[in-house]
Amino acid sequence: MSVAVLLLVLLAVGVAAVAAAVAAGRVGGGLGPATSTRPHRGLPDGPVLAADVDEVRFSVALRGYRMDEVDAVLDRLREEIRERDEELAAWRAAED
């Protein structure tokens, strides 16, 4: 076996060992927490208007939007819509 081939094999084994150590968490470093260049803009306080929903922006994370921000907005929208549906049903019942 030539010296060049032996060096390439040793280099490949070394790279594989380092990759395995990083994947196993044995070596520190790597990527820090995801950051965004666009700030998160959720829903404003008070009643939610259609224009407010248009202004919602989520921070982009490594694999997409930050799920906790999306979940918080959807939870808030769900609650607002539920409350409005109850009020509308009460008004309709009072008219009858």
pLDDT band, residue 45 (cuts 50/70/90): confident
* Cβ(85)–Cβ(92) below 8 Å: no
Residue 58 has a CB neighbour count (10 Å cut-off) of 19
The token pair at 87 is: 């009020």
Q: Do residues 62 and 31 make contact, with C-beta atoms less than 8 angstroms apart?
A: yes
* Of 34 and 11, more confident: 11
Check whether residue 22 and residue 41 sit in a common domain.
no
Pick the more confident residue, 7 or 54.
7
Q: Are residues 51 and 79 in the same domain?
A: yes
Contacts of 83 (CB under 8 A, 6+ apart): none
Quick one: 41 and 61 in the same domain? Answer: yes
Query: Domain range holding 19?
Result: 1-30
The 3-state DSSP class for residue 41 equals: strand
Number of compact structural domains in the chain:
2
